[in-house]
Amino acid sequence: MRPLFIFRLPAALVVSAAPSVVLAVVWHAASPITLPLWRDIAIVTGWLGTAMLAASTVLMIREPHLARLLGGLELSYRWHHRVGVLAYLALLIHPLALAFGGWAQSPHVAWESLAPRPRGWPVWLGWGALILIMIGLAAAFARQLPYRRWRGLHALLGVGVLLGFSHVWVMLGEPVPLLAIVAIGVLALAWRVLATDFGLAALPYRVTSIARPAAGVIEASVAPCGAALDVMPGQFVLAAFGRNSNYAGCGEYHPFTISAIEAGRCLRMTVKALGPCSHRLQSLEPDAIVRLQGPFGSFLSEPHDRPELWIAGGIGITPFMAALRAEPRSTPTTLIYLYRATSDAAFLEELERLAQTDPNFALFSEATGDRTPTVDALTARVPRLNECRAYICGPPAMVDAMTRRLVELGIALRHIHYERFDFRS
Amino acid sequence: MMRNLFITSTAVFWLAVAVFWVADLRYVDGTGERHSVAVERTWTLEQVSRHDRAADCWMAIDGTVFDLTAYLPQHPSNPAVILPWCGKDASTAYRTKTRGRPHSAYADRLLTTFRIGTLIAR
């Protein structure tokens, strides 16, 4: 991911939250009544939380153009998470500020400002929203939860956000321009659910053949049934596999990297058995229908203006396969391919053949076993190492360790690009 | 870091809610109810109409007169919605919230605490 893009999302955050604060301040300045400080705080935090909830829902939309604008899907998801937590903090302060405001009159008024029972269903909506968001966030932080349960609990956040928007709508009592923030949030949520989760934005493909390049790995060739995605090497798609007479897919969308782009806009996707869904996909059969969304990602899209060093860990080889299969290398390229055992090394023979025929392509491969891989011995053989542009794809721990080591070896951080696919979706 | 922020803020939030709850329980046991108006007075709509500003806001609602000056800053809606009713008979506006929806039972109870008398014809 381009580091430059990291600066865009804080800007987006400020843009999304600032109007609510500015409008709230202007509204209060123009108001004929001077409001107590705690009430000001309650109103501002209420709007701030609402605006950040709306921003967080926009950040979870999986639309290729929007994802590109925001610096990639992985970065969008990271900010979706952070903005959601910050919205939660603001929404915690909102009812407490109301209670502090009531405290000036009496502890009884303070409690009645908080308690939903005496104040009717609009306040129940607010409490419902806060508690569902609380449960949803607690689940989001529980990374050890099985994916299906995690996803179900995470969906509570969507319900909580809708309840929160309803609370704002009902409590406000009259239409104001700020309600546009609520409208944006509702539209973003609807877009995400309909286009992505129900797959209205997906294109159907048919599985034409299955190859098994390594133990526990399949490579599915798919052909478009109608319109096709415009995919570049290094990109990934979100795929939901359907069923045929012998095989039932998982039905939900998971990210898979494209390992080949072929004539007729046919694609090949490589699937390693890592979780329950990808285990089931190992028995995928031809003629199954797969629905694809995307493409996403900008890996391998930098200019070919310097030598390239590619580092692949295990199934992280797939984006490099797509690039090597697309065309011969135009710039000197060294691939360091690390895998646990030779039986796990997908495409190794094909890579060795490519290294023999493409003069710009060199391959260093190594079975690392269970030890942590070190690249020093291999990078020592890479010519002009500190001039290289590096691309790393593999498990998050490997990507982090390699990035640190390459910086120590003299490669500028801006020339190191990585993909690690560790977001839950 | 986000995880710690979530855990800490959630714990502090529930602690604060618990403190407000306990304070309310102790308060009811001790000092009792809010203020009530001791002397019942009568007002004409003409008298009410002199209190038509944010700094001095009376309203007549269903035959009762209320001094809502102290409450205005706490009202949830934009002041522009409630202010035009200062100095007037706001019965319909109160019953419909100008959009056909009544106020809550809580609002009804809260309103009684601002009662200053009854409305008479002249």
Q: What is the pLDDT of residues A103-159, one digit of tens each?
A: 877 788 788 788 877 667 788 899 999 999 999 999 888 877 777 788 888 888 999
- Minimal Cα distance from B101: which residue of A? A173
**For residues A114 and B20, what is the distance between their CA atoms, to the nearest angstrom?**
8
The token duo for A359 is 């003069």
Query: What is the model's pLDDT at position A307?
Result: 92
Bridging pattern class, strands B115-120 and B42-44: parallel
Query: What is the model's pLDDT at position A350?
Result: 92
> A106 and B27: CB-CB below 8 Å?
yes
> A174 and B99: CB-CB below 8 Å?
yes
The token duo for A48 is 């701030």
**For residues A76 and A55, what is the distance between their CA atoms, to the nearest angstrom?**
11
Query: What is the model's pLDDT at position A198?
Result: 83
**For residues B122 and B114, what is the distance between their CA atoms, to the nearest angstrom?**
22
**For residues B70 and B54, what is the distance between their CA atoms, to the nearest angstrom?**
9
Cβ neighbour number for residue A279 with a 10 Å cutoff = 14
Confirm or reject contact between A168 and chain B (CB < 8 A): no
Please give, one letter per residue, the 3-state secondary structure of chain A.
CCHHHHHHHHHHHHHHHHHHHHHHHHHHHHCCCCCCHHHHHHHHHHHHHHHHHHHHHHCCCCCHHHHHHCCCHHHHHHHHHHHHHHHHHHHHHHHHHHHHHHHCCCHHHHHHHHCCHHHCHHHHHHHHHHHHHHHHHHHHHCCCCCHHHHHHHHHHHHHHHHHHHHHHHHHHCCCCCCHHHHHHHHHHHHHHHHHHHCCCCCEEEEEEEEEEEECCEEEEEEEECCCCCCCCCCCEEEEEECECCCCECCCCCEEEEEEEECHHHCEEEEEECCCHHHHHHHHCCCCCEEEEEEEECCCCCCCCCCCEEEEEEHHHHHHHHHHHHHCCCCCCEEEEEEECCHHHCCCHHHHHHHHHHCCCEEEEEEECCCCCCCCHHHHCCCCCHHHCEEEEECCHHHHHHHHHHHHHCCCCHHHEEEECCCCCC
DSSP code at position B102: P
pLDDT < 50 stretches in chain A? 1-7, 423-425
Burial of A342 (0-12, 13-18, 19+ CB in 10 A): exposed
Which chain B residues are Cβ-neighbours of A171 within 8 angstroms? 76
- Please name the member of B34, B97, B106 whose beta carbon is closest to the beta carbon of A106: B34
Distances (CA, A) of B119 to B46, B47, B88, B97: 10, 10, 11, 21
**For residues A403 and A416, what is the distance between their CA atoms, to the nearest angstrom?**
7
**For residues A57 and A195, what is the distance between their CA atoms, to the nearest angstrom?**
14
Distance from CA of B121 to the nearest CA of A (A): 31
Q: Which residues does B contribute to its contact with A (CB < 8 Å)?
A: 2-3, 5-6, 9-10, 13, 16-17, 20-21, 23-24, 26-28, 34, 54, 72-74, 76-79, 81, 83, 97-99, 104-106, 109
Give pLDDT tens digits for A64-94.
888 888 877 878 888 888 899 999 999 999 9
Strands (DSSP E) found in B14-120: 42-44, 52-53, 56-61, 64-67, 88-89, 115-120
- Please name the member of B54, B73, B105 whose beta carbon is closest to the beta carbon of A120: B105
What is the ipTM score, two decimals?
0.72
> A31 and B79: CB-CB below 8 Å?
yes
- Sign for the pseudo-dihedral over CA of A387, A392, A398, A401: positive
Q: Is there a contact between A298 and A326 (Cβ–Cβ < 8 Å)? A: no
Ordered strands of the A361-367 beta sheet? A361-367, A333-339, A308-313, A389-393, A416-419
**For residues A271 and A208, what is the distance between their CA atoms, to the nearest angstrom?**
15
Which chain B residues are Cβ-neighbours of A137 within 8 angstroms? 6
Q: Is there a contact between A285 and A246 (Cβ–Cβ < 8 Å)? A: yes
CA A96 to chain centre: 33
> B13 and A92: CB-CB below 8 Å?
yes
pTM of the model: 0.70
Q: Is there a contact between B61 and B94 (Cβ–Cβ < 8 Å)? A: yes
Cβ neighbour number for residue A152 with a 10 Å cutoff = 12
Distance from CA of A88 to the nearest CA of B (A): 8
pLDDT in tens, chain B (122 residues): 788 999 999 999 999 999 999 988 887 644 444 444 445 688 888 889 988 888 889 999 988 899 888 788 777 777 777 888 899 998 888 877 655 666 776 777 778 888 888 888 76
Confirm or reject contact between A137 and chain B (CB < 8 A): yes
- Sign for the pseudo-dihedral over CA of A80, A81, A87, A88: positive
